[in-house]
Amino acid sequence: MPTTLITGANRGIGLALVREFQSKGHTVIATARDPLSAKDLKATGAELHSLDVADPASIKALAAGLMGRPLDFLINNAGLGDRADITRLDYDRFEEILRVNTIAPIRVLDALTPNLAAGKAKIAAALSSQLGSIENTDMGFGLAYRVSKAGLNMGLRAAACSLADQGITLLALHPGWVKTDMGGDGAPVEPADSAAGLYKVITGSKPSKALRFYDFEGKTLPW
């Protein structure tokens, strides 16, 4: 039975991913900032761990707790949204977004690389966004968010080169515009449908030394 770790699993796409991977027979290790109060997540029966991805000590503690445990799939899902354009930027918030969306997924990947290297599938996916596509950007909203996801894509692309010799494959994934607290009520994609698509893309991925950027339907996105 494959083992999959999902961050930010208490709500939104993360929670839907927990349910999807469990329904396909995976052992799911689900992390949340405050797992004890995560009612819906607790109801899934997933193995719960506490993780604040913005806190290096928290990542270190998670990795120590999972030492020696093989991981097949790692999904860096936790993230922060923001819609401000340059005229309304809050720079403290900008820094927080970079910490959570860009630096944290790399730090989590780095901390759990030994676990992935010991797993069979050796696939690490991160929830990026089409808003991080430089080529597709022709609107100004979400400046900090766009920068954070474009930076994440570059971090993953560079990491893919370094981790290839351990057989680890990296994926940057756009989940669609999804009805969550971040995506809002007007979003056209249900979390369960996004998670079902992401499951197929993640588990259907062939080993690769190069980072790929897909949406939840398997379409390649431009950098």
Ligand X SMILES: NC(=O)c1ccc[n+]([C@@H]2O[C@H](COP(=O)([O-])OP(=O)(O)OC[C@H]3O[C@@H](n4cnc5c(N)ncnc54)[C@H](OP(=O)(O)O)[C@@H]3O)[C@@H](O)[C@H]2O)c1
Q: Which residues bind ligand X (CB under 6 A)?
A: 8, 10-14, 33, 51-54, 77-80, 100, 127, 129, 174-175, 177-178, 180-183, 187
Rounded to the nearest 10 degrees, the angle between the axes of helix 56-65 and helix 104-117 is 10
DSSP states of 17-44: HHHHHHHTT-EEEEEESSGGG-HHHHHH
DSSP states of 163-187: HGGGT-EEEEEE--SBSSTTT-TT-
Q: Which is nearer to ligand X, 143 or 178 (CB)?
A: 178
- For residue 58, the one-letter residue type is S
Widest CA span in the chain: 50
Closest distance of CB 169 from ligand X, Å: 19
Closest distance of CB 121 from ligand X, Å: 21
Residue 4, class by beta-carbon neighbours within 10 Å (0-12 exposed, 13-18 middle, 19+ buried)?
A: buried
Closest distance of CB 120 from ligand X, Å: 25
Please state, as a whole number, how many other Cβ atoms lie within 10 Å of the Cβ of residue 82. Answer: 20
Closest distance of CB 80 from ligand X, Å: 5
Q: Which is nearer to ligand X, 52 or 72 (CB)?
A: 52
Q: Which is nearer to ligand X, 117 or 154 (CB)?
A: 154
Q: Which is nearer to ligand X, 13 or 211 (CB)?
A: 13
Q: Which is nearer to ligand X, 17 or 163 (CB)?
A: 17
Beta bridge partners of 174: 215
Instruction: Please report, for residues 66, 115, 120, 163, 168, the alpha-carbon distance to residue 71 in angstroms, rounded to integers and kept in the order given.
Output: 9, 5, 8, 15, 11
Closest distance of CB 144 from ligand X, Å: 12
Contact 216, 171 (CB under 8 A): no
- For residue 65, the one-letter residue type is G
Closest distance of CB 184 from ligand X, Å: 8
Q: Which is nearer to ligand X, 139 or 209 (CB)?
A: 139
